[in-house]
Structure 1
Amino acid sequence: MSPLTPARALLLVTSGIACLATAASALVGLVVGGPPAALVLGISAGAGSAVGAFLVRRRALASHARARTAVMAHGYAEGVAQYVLLIISNYAAAVFPRSGPHGVTPEERAARRTDAYRIAAEEEVPHRVREAAADVLAALDEGDRSGSAAAQTALVIAVREHARQPVPLRPGP
């Protein structure tokens, strides 16, 4: 048995509805007008419901594809936002190392700074997350420990708010 994909589930549901419509109209025709009416009503209802099911199925699959694309884009942006948070936290750990002022080499600090700026400037990063990341990077470059902590808190909030946003399944006007 093949896996139950959305397309297969929709095919099974629409086929079942078409079969039920055919059987119900054939029974109504049998009760009302006998076997000839059952045959005519069954064939006409079956053909009509099959055509309707085909048309509905095409529209539903197109809608599903659009929704899937929107969800994938939102999930990708959420992952990039999480990555920005991680890379900036790594840079903050290089600016203010816990092991003392000589815990991180200048080359490592420069490499982490370059990575943080490069990732924060990516086009896929949500706008609000990008702004919060810029604030953190500015505070880290100035060496402001309390300012960078407050900016990192704002960055965490921006990343979480982006994750909580509903996915826009239909394009806006």
Structure 2
Amino acid sequence: QVKFYELDEILEHPRNTKPLFVILDALEDPQNIGAIIRTAEAVAADAVIVPKDQGAPINATVNKTSAGALSHMRMCRVNNINRTIELMKEKGVRVFGADMEGVKNYIDVDFTGPCAIVIGSEAKGIRQLVKKNCDELVRIPIAGCVESLNASVSAAVVLYEALRQRLTAGS
């Protein structure tokens, strides 16, 4: 049984002095969700936030793919991703959407402060209103013939850049 934390709880009592959150915007593949939870735990993210009524449920497949990370990661289920983003911004959390339409390259963004990284669904990416509510959209450059990376790979790339910056900055 997965314990879900309230949004207030993860915002008021983060694991890190400069919290790092992961927001999953309606991901459909439980294996992607599990892989992202594993990566989030590996970089010591504060919590993974998922919508209650959209996307795949947090189930046995998610747990198996997370390779045990689900039991360590604080999970938060919310009614409304957009309202969640608004509340996070009110608490001083900058919200970055990983998106192909991002103007800035992800390595040119400062992830050292309190921040959240939004990962969109496999087929459609981040929903339009969620994109609008992000402080900034960041892209991962693609040099080959493929149009995009898998959602869990995109999350790993951006989360490890956040970790690299934080380790370099000593936070």
TM-score scaled by structure 1? 0.28
Which is higher, the Rg of structure 1 or of structure 2? 1
- Higher RCO structure, 1 or 2 (CA under 8 Å, sep 6+): 2
Output the TM-score relative to the length of structure 2: 0.29
Report the structure, 1 or 2, having the larger strand content: 2
